[in-house]
Chain A
Amino acid sequence: MIGLFARLILRPLRAEPVRTLLTVLSVALGIAVVLAIELASDAATGSFRSSLETVAGEADYEVTAVGGLDERLYAKLATLPLAVNVRPRMEDHALLVESKQTLPLIGLDLVAHALDARFETTSFEPGLILASATGRKVGEQVTLRVNDHDHLLTVRAIVASDTAFALVDIGVAQELLKRPGKIDRLLIDAPESFESRLKEALPAGATLAPFGARTEENRKMLAGFRSNLVILSYIALVVGAFLIYNTISVSVVRRRAEIGILRAIGMTSTTVLAMFLAEALLFGLAGIAIGVPLGRLMAEAAVGAIGATVQNLYVSSQPGVIALSFLATLKAVIAGLTVTLAAAWAPAREAAAVAPVEAMARGRKDYEVGQQQYRHLAIAAACALAAFGASFAPPIGRRPLFGYLAAALLVLAASLATPAFVHFVTRATRDLLRKLLGVEGLLASQSLDAALRRTAVLIAALITAVAMLVSVGIMVGSFRETVIQWIDSQLRADIFLQPAVPAGGDRFPTLSPDIAGRVAALPMVAMVDQFRAYPIHFRGLPVTLGSGDANVVKRRGAFHLLEGDPDEAYPQMLTSDAAIVSEPFVNKHGVHMGDTIQLPLGDQVRPIRVVGVYTDYSNERGYIIMHRERLLRYLPDPAPSNLAIYLKPGTQVIAAQRAIEAALSDARVLVLPNQTLRREAILIFDRTFAITYALELVAVFVAVTGVAGALLALVIDRRRELSLLRFLGAARTQIRKLILCEAGLIGLLSVAGGMLLGGILSLVLVYVINKQSFGWSIQFHAPIAILLGALTIIFTATLLAGLYPARVALALNPIEVIHEE
């Protein structure tokens, strides 16, 4: 059996090293991308529980409250007649100015940790403890920017950790964060039986949750983002599957007579099946051998981009170290082998079904694709219909599973319809091609039509890759256009002011409370709106609670209400506990206009009525917005997160910016004109989707690689025809032109089919998958210029993919080839 495999499978593969290499490369790239995304998303989204926990210790429970806990609660819980251990903690972020590193700032009761061996020093006089990842040394002085103030601190200790953080004593943290008397979290070691007793001791607004529950909530929130990324990463592997299918099909077509002979002399059909599956397995294993290390490398490149998106849109999390875990590798290996074997199954079964009598058949028998076209078209129509139905089904557990199914069915339908599409187009354009491209165009068109079995699979692979590029391009383009329009309507103020430390999806550094008054006092300033945001949890998911001046909002129209009347909503916000909520919040939590939601605010839980739903694309967590004065009643911290500054008519923005900067020279703040903020927002958007484009490009690269490999196979199989043309007077340039015409036709058909399928897929992405995953309404917009540019590049790449096969065709010796026959 091994001898047979070596002779019948390995030998032909060795004879065509370039084609074999291209197939292995395409599988390897598919596996590498899957693994890279798995590892990078693990590293970027899995580090909420930073290595700080290993230093600061874990607990059984944690107590939190919106706006922080009163520190007296610490004493109350610690003195309960229960055998519990209570530890306070402050949590925020700070900027290490010298290295421009943003890192978690943690306040702990350091006395309790003083004897911990993990610290490089046991001296805990007031000062700063840094993780070794910051690269600082004991005794150094560093500037720590907390909110809008810089603080010069001496590093007292270094803790070994591969993620950066800063530790201070809890009292120092309260001082740095200007939250005197407040604690962000209480960690409690207590048996489960104490839970109800502990709850009784808490104020109504405080939440007692098992330790790590927030981490789980974060993971839950990121599930949609992650699964979309993972699915995108599988596109390259699916395209690779088409190419495996094509390679094994070519093997079977070429060796049909050979298989017939083997069957005639006693080989069983099972052995034939096993041999061709083994060929696929070989490609899979070789792909894994290259793909796994390649994936590990690619993960390094991807983790930064994924981490930035997570920070911008969701939650603060420092990307952890990429670890080539056994589980992630196993998943990639299983995915690679499954896809490879599944792709090879159909052609291998056809090989097994070859009758011994075919050994006697004259020449090589191509498949009767033509006869199957109508059946395949019927199945394709059924798939398309099923996809249409699936696109109307609701999500399952906030996951657009039916949306994915609809997309998969559409790809399947397109693949099944591809032979008929190629046949129809090549037939219909035969005369036109002859007129435009001469005899080479005619021959190329006929050759594609005649070898439908191979060309159709190849074109289907490229159509899939192009369609994914087009559909994701349209989805991102639509999203971008919608966001730009939203930014234009949302950013009404002339200047925005915020602390000069990075903010994030759950990170809202605050300004000193006096700053708003100082800005408002400037002569060119007409109005200042103070916005405050709190990261809170609502029904088990992270949400942002915000407050602004409803009067300003009403006057300036900063929010576009999808539901609710601005004339009713804003007055209600001024006079009652009412809020407007963002569209993602509504879609995520099933809350409707007019509903009353229970919000824990400070030490109490308040019923808040939803009086409006507005469009928002700033983050996916969802917003609840209240009037500032109403929220201050429950959360009395007056520090705003940022200011929206409206200038008096006729004031020059740049001059006003300079004046504000001069007035606030003692504070570390960013004064951003409207246009700058707009530009930055679009930049963040583009960075967020950079990884998406990268994944698409890998899929297209795999497909174009496949074109080169398959064209090479076509050239080798048609060497008799190409040699004959030389006998009949074809010039070498004509042979080259013929191959390039074929490559060009494959490119054109793929781009045309890909645009069609991509257009339909984009509807599923925009209106089903995006809506169900993220809750955003996006206006459809096709970025025509970008798409045309991308498609031109793909077409050119396909054409270039024909150069090497053309060279091989020119190197054929016509005499040898003709006399072989």
Chain B
Amino acid sequence: MPVLEFIDVRRNYPGTAAVDGVSLSVPAGQLLALVGRSGCGKSTLLNLAGAMDFPTSGTVQIDGQATRGLNDAALTKLRREKIGFIFQSFQLLPNLTAAENVELPLLLSGQPRARAQALDRLARVELAGLGHRYPHQLSGGQMQRVAIARALVHRPSLLLADEPIGNLDSATGTTILALLRRIVDEEKATIVMATHSAESTAVADRVIEMRDGRILSAA
């Protein structure tokens, strides 16, 4: 069963179709890169995949479960258990330490031993010993690692990354891409990554190019 499946999905906004008849299946353990110009529908596709947005028509399934029709509690549960988000601008909470940022999803879902799991996750992204630091005490690359650790801490089936290296210099970007690759390889995680960069596509198992809300080509 695919981790993520789009079946003839449309997402219309007034005057425009952000996603226009997309069908796509992402199996477990795949790193999928979505490429295309700004406004082509990449981010909308990620939001649909993350159950933060819902199709106007068609079906989005995560681990076989359709997102449309779920109530708020069920959607929250779905996001808590199956989805992790990584953002271009890291989106760390500035008044929480790295460890506190990472453990946040676990605390929100009321899981025990959150701190231990968070520190373990930080160690896996090579930030052992930096858990006490606040975001402003970290470099850009370190901040994105913290964001990745936070996205993975609750062991989601699907990791959604929106331009994860867009705010980083090329050397740091390369390291982050290598880290994402390693996560897929070692932990059999599934990552859908929206990106502009050719470097990102190089580490992907599959690349899908989008234009005007449609899938143009798949490699």
Contacts and interface: CB of A to CB of B under 8 A. Distances in A.
Interface stretch (A98-106, A445-453, A699-707): A445-453
Contacts of B94: 450
Contact of A729 (B80, B91, B95): B80
Contact of A727 (B79, B107, B110, B154): B79
B104 interface: yes
A66 interface: no
A72 to B, nearest CB: 89
A726 B73 CA distance: 12
B150 A819 contact: no
Nearest to B52: A815
Given A814-B52, A815-B47, A821-B89, A728 B105 contact: yes
A821 B76 CA distance: 23
B95 A446 contact: yes
Contacts of A814: 52
Interface stretch (A616-624, A643-651, A678-686, A730-738): A730-738
B76 A729 contact: yes
B197 interface: no
A724 interface: yes
A729 B52 CA distance: 10
Nearest to A819: B43
B78 to A, nearest CB: 9
Nearest to A730: B108
Contact of A818 (B80, B91, B150, B154): B91
Contacts of A446: 95-96
B67 to A, nearest CB: 14
Give the one of B43, B94, B95, B110 with max A CB within 10 A: B95
B199 interface: no
A729 B74 CA distance: 11
B6 interface: no
Contacts of A726: 52
B95 A447 contact: yes
A202 interface: no
Interface size class of A (residues with CB under 8 A): 20 to 34
B109 interface: yes
Contacts of B105: 728-729
Contacts of A525: none
Interface residues of B, number: 26
Interface string B74-118: 001001100001010101011110000000110111100000000
B79 A729 contact: yes
Nearest to B85: A727
A728 B52 contact: no
B123 to A, nearest CB: 20
A728 B96 CA distance: 14
Contacts of A442: 107
Given A727-B52, A731-B72, A439 B95 contact: no
Interface in B56-77: 72-73, 76
A728 B76 contact: no
Most chain B beta-carbon neighbours within 10 Å: one of A725, A818, A821: A818
Contacts of A725: 104, 108
Nearest to B160: A727
A508 B86 CA distance: 84
Nearest to A718: B93
B72 A729 contact: no
Contacts of A450: 94-95
Nearest to B50: A727
B53 interface: yes
B89 A449 contact: no
A256 interface: no
A438 B108 CA distance: 8
Interface string B132-168: 0000000000000000001000100000000000000
Contacts of B104: 439, 725, 728
A449 B85 contact: no
A814 B91 CA distance: 12
B218 to A, nearest CB: 25
Interface in A706-732: 720-721, 724-732
A422 to B, nearest CB: 14
A821 B92 CA distance: 12
- Max chain A C-beta neighbours (<10 A), residue from B50, B72, B73, B91: B91
A48 B105 CA distance: 72
Contacts of A732: 72, 76
Contacts of B91: 720, 724, 727, 818, 821
A731 B87 CA distance: 20
Contacts of A818: 87, 91
B27 to A, nearest CB: 24
A681 B205 CA distance: 90
Contacts of A724: 91, 93
Nearest to A447: B95
Given A729-B79, A732-B72, A439 B47 contact: no
A819 B163 CA distance: 12
Given A814-B52, A815-B47, A818-B87, A728 B108 contact: yes
Most buried by B among A447, A724, A814: A724
A729 B93 contact: no
Nearest to A726: B52
Interface string A805-821: 00000000011001101
B53 A815 contact: yes
B161 to A, nearest CB: 12
Interface in A781-796: none
A557 to B, nearest CB: 67
A166 B121 CA distance: 92
Nearest to A723: B91
A731 B107 CA distance: 12
Contacts of B52: 726-727, 814-815
B84 to A, nearest CB: 9
A815 B76 CA distance: 15
A818 B79 CA distance: 16
Contact of B85 (A438, A447, A728, A730): A728
B215 to A, nearest CB: 21
B130 to A, nearest CB: 19
A734 B77 CA distance: 13
Nearest to B79: A729
Nearest to A448: B95
Contacts of B87: 818
A720 to B, nearest CB: 7
A426 to B, nearest CB: 11
Given A720-B91, A814-B52, A815-B47, A729 B109 contact: yes
11 contacts: A449-B95, A450-B94, A450-B95, A720-B91, A724-B91, A725-B104, A728-B104, A728-B150, A731-B76, A732-B76, A734-B108
Given A732-B76, A734-B108, 6 more contacts: A450-B95, A721-B93, A727-B79, A728-B85, A729-B154, A821-B89
Shortest beta-carbon contacts, A-B, top 4: A450-B95, A729-B80, A439-B107, A731-B76
